[in-house]
Amino acid sequence: MVEPMIDWKSNCGNVSAAVGPFAIDEGLVEAVEPMTRVRIHQVNTGKVIIAEVPVKGKHAAVEGKHKIDGVPGTGAKIILDWRTAPGPLPGSFCPRAR
| Tens of pLDDT, residues 12-71 | 788 889 999 999 999 999 999 999 999 999 887 788 999 999 999 999 999 999 998 998
Q: Tell me, yes or no, whether 34 lies in a domain.
A: yes
Query: If you compute the radius of gyration of the chain from its CA atoms, what whole number of angstroms results?
Result: 16
- Distance CA(98)–CA(91), nearest Å, equals 18
Q: Tell me, yes or no, whether 17 lies in a domain.
A: yes
Q: Tell me, yes or no, whether 1 lies in a domain.
A: no
Overall number of domains in the chain: 1
Amino acid letter, residue 45:
T
pLDDT of residue 8: 73
pLDDT of residue 87: 53
pLDDT at 90 over 60: no
pLDDT of residue 2: 84
Q: Tell me, yes or no, whether 37 lies in a domain.
A: yes
Amino acid letter, residue 23:
A
Which is higher by pLDDT, 81 or 90? 81
Which is higher by pLDDT, 5 or 97? 5
Q: Tell me, yes or no, whether 3 lies in a domain.
A: no
Q: Tell me, yes or no, whether 72 lies in a domain.
A: yes
List of residues 6+ apart from 19 with CB closer than 8 A: 38, 40, 51
pLDDT at 86 over 70: no
Domain that holds residue 33: 13-81
Confidence of residue 96 (pLDDT cuts 50, 70, 90): very low
Q: Tell me, yes or no, whether 27 lies in a domain.
A: yes
